[in-house]
Structure 1
Amino acid sequence: MVLLASSAFTPVSALAQINATPKPGQGAPADDPKPQPPAATASEKPIVPDAEFDAALPQLSDDMNAPLEQITPADPASAPQPVEPIEDAEDLDAAGKEAEIASPLAPIDQFDTTPVAETAPVNDEKAVEIRYATRIVGLDELGLDDQFDDLSALEDGDGRAANAAIITARAREDEKLAVRLMRSIGYYDASAVSTIEQTPGAARSVTAVITATPGPLYRLGSIKLDAGPTVPPTLIADNFRLKVGEAIDAVRVQAAEANVSLILPQNGYPFAQVGQRDILLDDETHTGDYTLPITTGMRSSFGGIRTEGDPVFDTGHIGILTRFKRDQIYDSRKVDDLRDALIATSLFSTVSVEPVKTGQAGPDGTEYVDLLVRQTRGPARTLAAEAGYSTGQGFRAEVSWTHRNLFPPEGALILSAIGGTQEQGASATFRRSNAGKRDRTFQVFASALRSDVEAFTSLTGTLGARYSYDSTPIWQKPFTWSVGVELVGTREDRYDFARGARERGNYFIGALPLFAGWDKSDDLLNPTRGFRLKLNLSPETSVRGAARPYVRAMAEGTAYYPVGDSIVVAGRARFGTIQGIERDLLAPSRRYYAGGGGSVRGFGFQELGPRSPDGKPIGGRSFNEFAIEGRYRFGNFGIVPFIDAGQVYESNIPQLTNIRFGAGIGGRLYTNFGPLRLDVATPIARKPGESKVALYISIGQAF
């Protein structure tokens, strides 16, 4: 012990000799050839012999939880002396502390381990902040400065940091970013260095500088598409958009590979897989040899349809929704279209369509694949409401309840109620979607409606049917049409010029409404370019004492022209005519009127046109309307100034005389289901009795 304690740096060999040294009184074995160390001197003898040390230790209790015992000194003179009487408070306090220190410790299981709560000091000083600037050198020539700004750690810090170490760390991250960006466009020897410059006296005292050095540009030296045979043989090569000599641009490389993975399933290869590319770079010629493995799989054609899960439709109705026939070459676009058609029914919680191998030979050396439709039934009922307001018409609200599959497949029942300032009514509609053929809709409807508008009051019952080919928000069709039949019974009041007074009468009307539309706009609810043409034609017969046949017709054209990225100029022209009957023999509800939110804004509902001697609108047999808008959009909001014009005429051919104008401005809130519209307008050259200001609130653009 003495030798170890006195030599803190004893080498390992010396430690070995110490450990091997025999204890005092023991000699080395007689046959030990090793020389013995010299005998210990008096100064090397232990200060306290081990036997004496062990005898001085107190006896300890076997109880781990017992209090620690006091050590009784061997020398009685060193034993604690009796405590003398305490004279004053200071002596009392000192004695108490000494007694507490001298008292036995509490058992471990009774020791209070609760930490002492201390209040951390509050630093009221404002946190130190270093403001820095960022300068990028070498990326603007490569067109990478915008990408760098979007991803930069320095830019994300908004020019502020708590200390210089943070600025340095951000700069190092941006070094790596600059190198990644340069390599992504073919500069594989690129490097970047960051430096931190002091700019005393400037608004930003530190400038972080990223200096990028692109090096030579690497180009494609060779292209190898490792794939099996296809039909046609050049299918992959014709659709691979990379050429030898082009820069090895990561975006273009990925786009070319994605195009191949897209084209193959569209041309009969549903199970094609594009493998992992390999590019071997040559740092002497600065070129790269590109290899792409492609597994095409068997060329396939459409077979049958399978289904599993919680079925909503059987395979027969799913077949109606397909746009392909058996034996046609497989095309993934038609599979996606089928899935979209199923989703559009709104009858599924989840639905998927995927090809399944059959192993059966198809035409032209192909193999049949079936389409597996996995169905999970979703809620079929919908409760909806809509509301609007316009000056002249007041409020109008409609509530509807729909069960979309009450009469499978896709036989819906729709019940609705209308309440408003001028209209109250109810209706019931049976609708069969995809009736016998995809996108064909057949519906039968019945309604009862009470109207109290400025031109007339009426109580009308209608029974009708309609067969149509319509656009939907998912499929906006260029050509749409409908044919229908209506039987109308109505009791209305009209002004009798012969008697000079109003009278009520009953009208029975039979109509065959026809519609055709040509739509080349880019969006159904919020078009920004293109045009639309619409034609309504309705041969009708009015029976009031005698049958009087006539024809109602209306034509409308709208156009949309973008000016820059945020402005669209939109225009509309609409004309209507009624041929074959005098105006006063028509039921007032079948005449033409103008004015209001869907007509000429700035005027109240039905406010334009001729009036009876009692001052109420009496409608006409022809009309014309015009409108032009400037739709300015910023984010999800928009401002729309507009001018409308129009007039109603007693003649059966619309004139261009006495045209009235209204002007105003509107606001738009763009949502995922269409714009919310609020328009405010006023008549130009207002006449007595006309509206001063008209307000219109609705959903969708005015046209």
Structure 2
Amino acid sequence: MPLRVCAAVCVLITAQGWIPSASALQAPGQTTPQTPPQTTPSRPQPGNAATEPIITDEEFDATIPTLDADPNAPLGTIEEWDAEQTRLEQNASPDRAITGDPLSAPMELDPELDAPLGPIGSFDVEPFDESQYTQAAEDDATRAVRYTYRIEGLTARPAPDASETPALSDVSDKARKAVDPDDIRARFRELSALDDGDGRAANGAMVSARMIEDQQLLADLLIGQCFFDATVNGAVEMPESGEGPMVVVLTASPGPCYRFDSITFTAPPVEPEDLITRSFVPAIGEPVDADRVLAAEANIAVALPQYGYPFAQVGQRDVLLDPATDSADYTLPVTPGARSSFGDIVTSGTSVFEADHIATLARFDKGDLYDSRLVDDLRKALVATGLYSVVAVKPEPTGEVAPDGTQYAALAVEQEAGPARTLAANAGYGTGQGIRAQGSWTHRNLFPPEGALIASIIAGTQEQGASGTFRRSNAGRRDRSVELSLSALRSDFAAFEAFTGRLAGRISYSSTPIWQKPITYSYGFELLGTNEQDFNFDLGRRDRRTYYVAALPGQITWDRSNDLLDPTTGFRLSAQVSPEASLGSGTQFYGRGLVEATGYFPFGDSIVLAGRARVGSIFGADRPDIAPSRRYYAGGGGSVRGFGFQELGPKDPDNRPIGGRSLVEGAAEVRYRFGNYGIVGFVDAGQVSISSTPGFDDLRFGAGLGGRFYTNFGPMRLDVATPIGRRPGESRVSIYISIGQAF
């Protein structure tokens, strides 16, 4: 028979049974001791049943097939093998012969299987007990593994001594900073699987998996902070008493902290010549901190395009570690590309603006040195128009040389138009002003470029009106708008009732949510005709009169606050002036002026003290010659809280306000914010006088509390106030709801 059969029976048989060779029991790397050979009898000892062999030597020899004379002869067939086995079975001793196929013997079946089924009622059915499964589930939950963890082996590493390290002798103390393990521990807690599990796991295997994951995490953190030879081992300590949580111990062996011995940049000369080196913050002698290195490389990639290199590329770093000195040689290849200036603007995609209007939005001219910050600014300006769904601005090389020796870089603007129409609405409530809701429809590019048509309506308990406005944004200059509007409005307040038609135009340079400008201004004209009801003291009754007014309003604001809707620091100063003429029964010329100042003073991270002062005056005309809607009033959510809208000031015999020619107001708030919520305590004061000279002899005060809910577009406010020294007819409590801070 073939040789392959022998391999299945190559076992050393002795009187003691089978024994593997010594080499099979030898652990890897273990040296096998040399022992003298032992003599083992080949036959069993008489009378020792425990050592009686299973078969005799003669029977064993008879079962071993003989080898073919020719080992290279082909193997026999399966049929020949089966015939040989049959012959051996027939020649075997009778007590060892196998008779028949045990698998083919008939199986004796249980006679009950052939019996017919009994009636259903005879079955003894036990009801399903859900409680035992619920209890089992609760038992599984209570068997959840509890654990804690600790980190060993992290200790503070002092800064190296420059006197002992020649390479650091010329390096500042700041560069030779110590390594703080607390930073590694803090970052480990942020990312740790063990920490994220809150000390509980379904079973021990889950704890083991978390431990293995955190071993790698801690090693990566150590390597990232200059410990390139770091290793971390994990172990689990079981509670001695058998109760309590297991303890996962991560033992760190940081090894030496590698520090920069040299920092080299392979790059051609750039302008300025230290542009690359000054952008790389890590210095010689500092630890090789991966985060600082990556941030420094990113800083180079940012700085080069800001100084005329739009096509700069930062290559792959090379860090050579020297274990003998625990130092690192750092090399970074940098390809700055051609120094470039701004070239032409080219557009592609769904056109929204032509290149000449895009150039109007840019804060640079062709030929200016390329600066990626100005490119980002242009992209934001395009987004701020609200006319794009997608817009991208990127430089492209032209190969054209500019007069100053740089190369022109064209700006490719890829445009994808977005919806140009917008529906908007806002609503508010104020005591004395009632509910006021305003809705508008806007087509922002009906008259390209950026010529918008706006239709709006006002629906409130005391105001109703409609208006249409044409506005061209970025008109000849970035952030300059030109507006022309026509409106009709009915107002019914305690101070006056008016039906007003108004035609107005304005040119303004204003702040936007993206760019808050330090100086803003506006100027324009107003023509209005208004029929208003006012108390005629000469006749002793309320009378109607039609006024025709022409005005040239203007405003300028100096804004050093940090936010338009929710300032927390800085100040604002603004001045308004409006020369006006009241036409009709005798022409009257007069002027209206108003000055306002606000300031914001933070105390810590959550408290802001805010203050406001306002002074106004109308000079050149008597009060009856001024339309009631053009006089000064005080009271309300944006004026003196605690009083109704326009409630303060002189009144007629019916106790209705009649307005005045001068105004003083002041307010102080303490704003406390916690998360997305806030509480405000405030005191307001104000007075309206008949004289054009502001007075302080009858100041009225209101005080209250407010709530704030902060959103991504500004705070929503709810203020509740009460007048101090309330007089007859004045409300005990006033409520104001709107968007944005009071000032």
Query: What TM-score, normalized to structure 2?
Result: 0.80
* Structure 2 match to 1:9: 9
Report 1:486-635 matches (<5 A): 486-635=526-675
**What letter is aligned with 2:328?**
G
**SS of corresponding position for 1:245:** coil
- Gaps of at least 5 residues in structure 2 are 12-60, 74-83, 93-99, 118-129, 157-179
Report 1:20-419 matches (<5 A): 21=68, 44=88, 46=90, 94=114, 123-126=136-139, 127=141, 128-137=143-152, 138=154, 141-144=180-183, 145-199=185-239, 204-419=244-459
Deviation at 1:203, TM superposition (A): 9.3
Q: Choose 270-279 or 677-686, whichever is displaced more.
A: 677-686
* Structure 1 match to 2:14: none
**Contact 1:593 1:619 (8 Å CA) reproduced:** yes
Deviation at 1:454, TM superposition (A): 0.5
Identical residues among aligned pairs (%): 54
**SS of corresponding position for 1:125:** helix
Change (3 A) 1:680 1:136: farther
**SS of corresponding position for 1:692:** coil
Match of 1:660 among 695, 700, 703: 700
Deviation at 1:201, TM superposition (A): 7.2
Change (3 A) 1:648 1:615: same
**Contact 1:512 1:538 (8 Å CA) reproduced:** yes
**What letter is aligned with 2:653?**
P
Deviation at 1:572, TM superposition (A): 1.1
Q: Choose 571-580 or 183-192, whichever is displaced more.
A: 183-192
* Structure 2 match to 1:84: none
**Contact 1:139 1:212 (8 Å CA) reproduced:** no
**Contact 1:268 1:301 (8 Å CA) reproduced:** yes
**What letter is aligned with 2:224?**
S
* Structure 2 match to 1:105: none
**Contact 1:132 1:208 (8 Å CA) reproduced:** yes
Q: Choose 178-187 or 379-388, whichever is displaced more.
A: 178-187
**What letter is aligned with 1:459?**
F
CA distance in 2, matches of 1:134, 1:421: 65
Q: Choose 519-528 or 185-194, whichever is displaced more.
A: 185-194
- Gaps of at least 5 residues in structure 1 are 30-39, 49-55, 58-70, 81-89, 98-118
Deviation at 1:335, TM superposition (A): 1.0
What is the Cα-based RMSD across aligned positions, in Å? Answer: 3.3
**Contact 1:219 1:288 (8 Å CA) reproduced:** yes
**What letter is aligned with 1:227?**
A
* Structure 1 match to 2:42: none
Aligned length: 633
Deviations 1:425-462 (A, max 9, x none): 00000000111121110010000000000001000000
Deviation at 1:564, TM superposition (A): 1.1
Change (3 A) 1:184 1:461: same
CA distance in 2, matches of 1:249, 1:593: 64
* Structure 2 match to 1:482: 522
Deviations 1:130-181 (A, max 9, x none): 3323333436852222222111111100111223333233233223222222
**What letter is aligned with 1:606?**
Q
**What letter is aligned with 1:154?**
L
**Contact 2:316 2:333 (8 Å CA) reproduced:** yes
Deviations 1:39-96 (A, max 9, x none): x999836579xxxxxxx99xxxxxxxxxxxxx9x9xxxx9x9xxxxxxxxx9786378
**Contact 1:2 1:46 (8 Å CA) reproduced:** no
**SS of corresponding position for 1:215:** coil
**What letter is aligned with 1:283?**
P
Q: Choose 345-354 or 649-658, whichever is displaced more.
A: 649-658
* Structure 2 match to 1:109: none
**SS of corresponding position for 1:230:** coil
Deviations 1:614-641 (A, max 9, x none): 2100111111111111222222221112
Is residue 464 of structure 2 the alignment partner of residue 424 of structure 1? Answer: yes
Change (3 A) 1:618 1:191: same
Deviation at 1:2, TM superposition (A): 14
**SS of corresponding position for 2:534:** strand
Deviation at 1:193, TM superposition (A): 3.6
* Structure 2 match to 1:464: 504
**SS of corresponding position for 1:404:** strand
Q: Choose 549-558 or 637-646, whichever is displaced more.
A: 637-646
Deviation at 1:204, TM superposition (A): 4.8
* Structure 1 match to 2:39: none
CA distance in 1, matches of 2:688, 2:288: 67
**What letter is aligned with 2:490?**
R
**What letter is aligned with 1:241?**
V
**Contact 1:4 1:10 (8 Å CA) reproduced:** no
Change (3 A) 1:290 1:503: same
Deviations 1:340-367 (A, max 9, x none): 1111111111111111111111122211
Deviations 1:240-283 (A, max 9, x none): 22221122122221221111111110111110011111111111
CA distance in 1, matches of 2:512, 2:85: 111
Deviation at 1:310, TM superposition (A): 1.1
**What letter is aligned with 1:406?**
L
**SS of corresponding position for 2:613:** strand
CA distance in 2, matches of 1:393, 1:201: 74
